[in-house]
């Protein structure tokens, strides 16, 4: 998990939501899954299962969780394949809504959360959600980091196993170059690695000296690293070449795009039906080649209905395309907007270079201030009027940051409106809300929904509320000027705000996204 992971994966969460909706509501595949090879564990059987299985992958779920249902078929298929092959790896599931103590013990913050138990140690699962990705991750954690390629057939099998594979071709598989290669193979999930010194395989690969070969089923098809072979150079080489020069956004590629080690993304939103589409994509491709290994370049098709919420996240509409945005997923998520709307390689290159040179300022979304923003008991804030209202030191201001798709926010609405009614005639108190998905603030970063902050009268402080979401609890928070924030009155905020599926359910960011 990299720093600021919660902030960084909010976009990936929204992305996954858009792409899983149709699967959940059309087929409900989870109801047809043969999960007979998946162990069903409870608090009474959990410890024995961990003790008696050398390798155990456990999925913590909730029955209402849409993403749990979406994951179920791939998870069950992986369990079946492992069982049929006689593997020592077992897959299990825990209903965290029933066995909440187990979920709390293993710090489950949302659903689904996967934990891997390996001979007494516990690892966070950070692989993908397809059958092949689950199996590949487990293979890397339980077997050798790289397959030994003894024959050309072994090489061909490896090449067919995935869209991207990496082969270490060495004269001596015990040498320094080979050892560096194996160290990298151990640390990189999601890519099959092979290693060889076999003369027939080296001839098939057309290499004579030590070489790291990346084989892929797109773009130029192959990249070679032939000099200065060490751990750093191998890792940089793979990062620079494992993705397409411009990668099309989809549910299948979301993990690669937002879960990788490169944290800078330049995104072109455009219509594939546009007459200028091919030209715009080529302009992006030209720029992308200059920043390989530093920036991931992504194309989002604005015609795809599933991408509507991705555009919304950036404050865009289909009528705005073609348009470019850059996001960085470093310590916190930031978005950047080019000065010009023209899509040319010259302008794009300058835009991306200026970002890397630290010359750009983040682009913050804000809706326009509604004419009636202050007419109702609960005031409506946007980016443009937030500081004027919330930072008014003559008043105590309570602000709830919401998302329109957030189930817990919807549950809070009638309670919050009642709270607004209670304080509507109090000139010293303001009760307000802000849609944080379309209004962004430089100094306040929202990590989950809803987030409730109090800005006390006469203070620059922002105090987060952690108590029960009731009129009584929130009233105490306001009346105490933030002193009674409810920290000792609630059991587990994470479980209360745990992620959900779709249709009014929110999913907390997780490493497996």
DSSP structure string for 229-297 = -SHHHHHHHHHHHSS-SSEEP-TTTHHHHHSSS--EEEEEEE-TTSTTHHHHHHHHHHHHHHTTTT-EE
- pTM of the model as a whole: 0.69
- Give the pLDDT confidence score for residue 308 in this predicted structure: 84
Check residue 120 and give its pLDDT. Answer: 77
CB atoms within 10 A of CB 20: 21
- Residue labelled with tokens 């929904």: 449
pLDDT at 424: 96
Helix (H, G, I), strand (E, B) or coil at 314: coil
The radius of gyration of the chain's CA atoms, rounded to the nearest angstrom, is: 25
Told to judge if 26 belongs to the known catalytic residues of this protein, a careful annotator would answer no
Q: What is the pLDDT of residue 508?
A: 39
Order of strands, sheet of 333-336, starting from the edge strand that comes earlier in the sequence: 247-248, 296-301, 264-270, 323-329, 333-336
CATH superfamily of 147-240: Glutaredoxin (3.40.30.10)
Q: Active site includes 406?
A: yes
Q: What per-residue confidence (pLDDT) applies to 494?
A: 37
Instruction: Report yes or no: 390 and 397 within 8 Å, Cβ to Cβ.
Output: yes
User: Which CATH fold topology does 379-480 show?
Assistant: Glutaredoxin (3.40.30)
Cα separation, 468 vs 487, in Å, equals 9
Task: Return the residue matching tokens 């024959």.
Answer: 151
Report how far residue 220's alpha carbon sits from residue 239's, in angstroms, rounded to the nearest whole number.
15
Q: What is the DSSP letter of 306?
A: G
Given the residues 184, 268, 409, 513, select the one marked as catalytic. Answer: 409
Check: CB of residue 380 under 8 Å from CB of residue 433. yes
- Please tell me the predicted confidence (pLDDT) of residue 346: 97
Q: First-to-last CA distance in the chain?
A: 11
Q: Of the listed 6, 15, 65, 184, which one is catalytic?
A: 65
Residues 6+ apart with CB under 8 A from 141: 55, 116, 118, 123
CATH architecture of 246-357: 3-Layer(aba) Sandwich (3.40)
Task: Answer whether 223's CB lies under 8 Å from 277's CB.
Answer: no
Write down the domain spans for the chain. Answer: 39-142, 147-240, 246-357, 379-480
| Catalytic-role residue among 13, 406, 463, 513 | 406
Helix (H, G, I), strand (E, B) or coil at 4: coil
Bond from prior residue into 12 cis (ω within 30 degrees of 0): no
Residue 67 confidence (pLDDT)? 84
What whole-number distance in Å separates Cα of residue 386 and Cα of residue 384?
6
pLDDT values of the chain reduced to their tens digit, one per residue, 513 residues = 333 334 434 444 444 444 433 333 334 444 567 889 999 999 999 999 999 999 999 999 999 888 888 899 999 999 999 999 999 999 999 999 999 999 999 999 888 999 999 887 898 998 888 888 899 889 888 989 999 999 999 999 999 988 999 999 999 999 999 999 999 998 888 789 999 999 999 999 999 999 999 999 999 999 999 999 999 999 999 999 999 999 999 877 887 788 778 899 999 999 999 999 999 999 999 999 999 989 999 999 999 988 887 888 788 889 999 999 999 987 777 899 999 999 999 999 999 999 999 999 999 889 999 999 999 999 999 999 999 999 999 999 999 999 988 889 999 999 999 999 999 999 999 999 999 988 989 888 887 899 999 999 999 899 999 899 999 999 999 999 888 876 544 334 333 334 333 333 333 333 232
| 147-240 and 246-357, same CATH topology | yes
- How far apart are alpha carbons 406 and 85 in whole angstroms? 42
Fold classified for 39-142: Glutaredoxin (3.40.30)
């Amino acid at each position: 998990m990299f720093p600021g992971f919660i902030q960084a994966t909010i976009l990936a969460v929204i992305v996954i939501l858009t792409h899983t909706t149709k699967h959940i509501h059309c087929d409900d595949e989870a109801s047809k899954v043969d999960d007979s090879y998946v162990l069903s564990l409870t608090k009474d059987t959990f410890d024995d299962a961990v003790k008696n299985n050398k390798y155990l992958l456990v999925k913590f779920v909730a029955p209402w969780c849409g993403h749990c249902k979406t994951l179920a078929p791939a998870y069950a298929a992986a369990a079946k394949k492992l069982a049929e092959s006689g593997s020592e790896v077992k897959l299990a599931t825990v209903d965290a809504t029933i066995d909440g103590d187990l979920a709390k013990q293993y710090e489950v913050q949302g659903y689904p959360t996967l934990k891997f138990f390996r001979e007494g140690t516990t690892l966070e699962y950070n692989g993908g959600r397809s059958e092949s990705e689950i199996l590949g991750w487990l293979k890397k954690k339980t077997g050798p980091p790289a397959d030994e390629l003894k024959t050309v057939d072994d090489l061909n099998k490896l090449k067919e196993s995935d869209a991207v594979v990496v082969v270490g071709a060495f004269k001596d598989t015990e040498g320094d170059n080979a050892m560096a290669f194996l160290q990298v193979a151990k640390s990189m999930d999601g890519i099959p690695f092979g290693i060889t010194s076999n003369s027939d395989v080296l001839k098939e690969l057309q290499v004579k000296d030590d070489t790291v070969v990346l084989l892929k089923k797109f773009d130029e098809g192959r990249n070679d690293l032939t000099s200065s072979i060490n751990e750093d150079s191998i890792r940089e080489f793979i990062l620079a070449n494992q993705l397409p020069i411009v990668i099309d956004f989809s549910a299948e590629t979301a993990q690669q795009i937002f879960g990788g080690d490169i944290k800078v993304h330049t995104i072109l939103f455009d219509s594939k039906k546009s007459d200028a589409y091919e030209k715009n994509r080529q302009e992006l491709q030209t720029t992308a080649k200059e920043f390989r290994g530093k920036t991931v370049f992504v194309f989002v098709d604005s015609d795809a209905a599933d991408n509507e919420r991705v555009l919304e996240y950036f404050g865009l509409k289909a009528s705005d395309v073609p348009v470019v945005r850059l996001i960085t997923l470093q310590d916190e998520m930031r978005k950047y907007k080019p000065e010009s709307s023209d899509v040319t390689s010259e302008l794009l290159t300058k835009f991306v270079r200026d970002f890397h040179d630290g010359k750009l300022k983040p682009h913050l979304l804000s809706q326009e201030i509604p004419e009636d923003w202050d007419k109702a008991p609960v005031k409506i804030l946007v980016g443009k009027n937030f500081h004027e209202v919330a930072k008014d030191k003559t008043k105590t201001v309570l602000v709830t940051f919401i998302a329109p798709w957030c189930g817990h926010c919807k549950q809070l609405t009638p309670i919050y409106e009642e709270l607004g009614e209670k304080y509507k005639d109090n000139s010293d108190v303001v009760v307000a809300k802000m849609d944080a998905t379309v209004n962004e603030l430089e100094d306040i970063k929202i990590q989950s929904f809803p987030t409730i902050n109090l800005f006390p009268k006469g203070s620059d402080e922002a105090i987060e509320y952690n108590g029960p979401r009731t009129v009584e609890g929130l009233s105490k928070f306001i009346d105490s000027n933030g002193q009674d924030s409810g920290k000792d009155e609630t059991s587990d905020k994470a479980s209360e705000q745990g992620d959900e599926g779709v249709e009014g359910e929110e999913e907390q960011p997780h490493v497996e996204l």
